[in-house]
């Protein structure tokens, strides 16, 4: 059986609380430089023009050191983390967002090494939230609810460039030299968010975010 080794992304931290259940949400991605932040919004410069996004309890931040900062605040008895605890003006970021009445709402803010050509706005991927049903040598199958009492089952292809994000993932991967078998990072019963795109007749996973490990 082929073992899939995966690169591990930096930690992902929710600003306030857990994300609500959702199924197959289509997002867009804006890449630019942070120019302004507040407790409820984030503004980035994209090709010289400002784009402002609403930030709420469901917004997640992917940044190096995010988990450490979150633990430090918790140890100090402080709420958080806030956006300004994890990001800084002048940083290049990719903001995954969805259209909403009024201001676009950011679902994920990811720190990136650089922004090419002043930034861009592109159609983004779909996302599914559910519980891992099973794992194959190069696939993951999840189940969940899609509203009105309906349920769904989806299978996604896993590739060498699929990222796994979650608490403790970095530590587990470091013990394997920066890459680890997918089955050692994700298990049946884990709650996950899968970012994916269509690749022919298949669904290709670009990232699997473990939001809660299976409880015994």
What's the confidence (pLDDT) of residue 17? 38
Question: What secondary structure does DSSP assign to 10-62, as a single string?
Answer: PPEEESSSPPPP-EEEEEEEEEEEEEEE-SSEEEEEETTEEEEEE--TT-EEE
The size of the chain, in residues, is 216
**List of residues 6+ apart from 211 with CB closer than 8 A:** 18, 19, 129, 166, 191, 192, 193
pLDDT digits over 110-131, tens only?
888 888 877 877 766 678 888 9
14-35 tens-digit pLDDT: 443 333 344 455 578 888 999 9
Helix or strand holding residue 68 (H, E): helix 66-75
Average pLDDT over residues 69-76: 76
Q: What is the mean pLDDT of residues 181-186?
A: 87
* Sequence-ordered list of residues with C-beta below 8 angstroms from that of 215, at least 6 positions apart, any chain: none
pTM of the model: 0.56
Q: How far apart are CA 167 and CA 94, in angstroms?
A: 21
Average pLDDT (175-181) is 73
List, in order of start, the domains of the chain with CATH numbers: 5-11+127-212 (2.40.50.320), 25-124 (2.40.50.320)
Residue 8 dihedral angles phi and psi, to the nearest 5° = -110, 130
Given a cut of 60, whether residue 208 has pLDDT beyond it is yes
pLDDT of residue 123: 64
């Amino acid at each position: 059986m082929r073992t899939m080794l995966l690169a591990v992304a930096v930690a992902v931290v929710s600003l306030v609380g857990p994300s609500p259940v959702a199924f197959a949400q289509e997002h867009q991605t804006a890449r630019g430089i942070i120019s302004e932040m507040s407790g409820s919004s984030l503004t980035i410069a994209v090709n010289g023009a400002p784009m402002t996004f609403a930030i709420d309890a469901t917004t997640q931040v992917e940044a190096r050191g995010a988990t450490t900062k979150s633990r430090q605040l918790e140890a100090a008895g402080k709420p958080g983390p806030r956006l300004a605890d994890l990001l800084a003006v002048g940083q290049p970021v990719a903001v995954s967002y969805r259209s909403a009445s009024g201001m676009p709402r950011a679902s994920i803010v990811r720190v990136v090494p650089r922004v090419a050509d002043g930034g861009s706005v592109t159609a983004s991927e779909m996302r599914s939230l559910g519980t891992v049903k099973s794992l194959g040598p190069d696939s993951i199958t999840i189940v969940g609810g899609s509203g009105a009492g309906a349920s769904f089952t989806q299978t996604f292809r896993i590739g060498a460039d699929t990222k796994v994000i979650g608490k403790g993932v970095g530590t587990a991967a470091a013990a394997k030299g920066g890459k680890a078998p997918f089955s050692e990072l994700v298990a049946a019963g884990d709650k996950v968010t899968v970012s994916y795109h269509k690749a022919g007749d298949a669904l290709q996973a670009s990232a699997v975010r473990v939001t809660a490990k299976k409880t015994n």
